[in-house]
Amino acid sequence: MAEAPPRRPGGIKRTSKFDRRAKKLLPEQKIALARALRLFMVNAHDPLLGTHKLSSSSPMKGRWAFGFGFDSRVVFEWSGDIAVLLNVGTHAEVYG
């Protein structure tokens, strides 16, 4: 059985795609993202984030996501205890 992901990440690595997408967020979304990332660093599985593993039947198998704001998501994967941030945007943008 796979090891459970860490409660508290050892760090965060941002991909260039994540950074490009984050720059396009509205100012209030950027604030909400910053708050969510601070919370994520304390407890990656805080109920306010709704962190969940993505479906094993989807093309994103093995990846995780958490929400912030009304309809915004961060998609990431674990590399050891490092959270690699892959994408950010609305539900439709990151899953569609």
With a cut of 80, say whether residue 89 has pLDDT above it. Answer: yes
pLDDT for residue 2: 47
Q: Which domains does the chain have, with CATH numbers?
A: 11-95 (3.30.2310.20)
Structure tokens at 25: 């967020």
pLDDT for residue 95: 83
- pTM for this model (two decimals): 0.90
pLDDT by residue (tens digit) across 12-64?
A: 999 999 999 999 999 999 999 999 999 999 999 999 999 999 987 778 888 99
Long-range Cβ contact pairs of 85-89 (< 8 A, separation 24 or more): 85/12, 85/13, 85/14, 85/15, 85/18, 86/15, 86/17, 86/18, 87/17, 87/18, 87/21, 88/18, 88/21, 88/22, 88/25, 88/33, 89/21, 89/25
| Higher pLDDT pick, 24 / 7 | 24
- Say which amino acid occupies 94: V
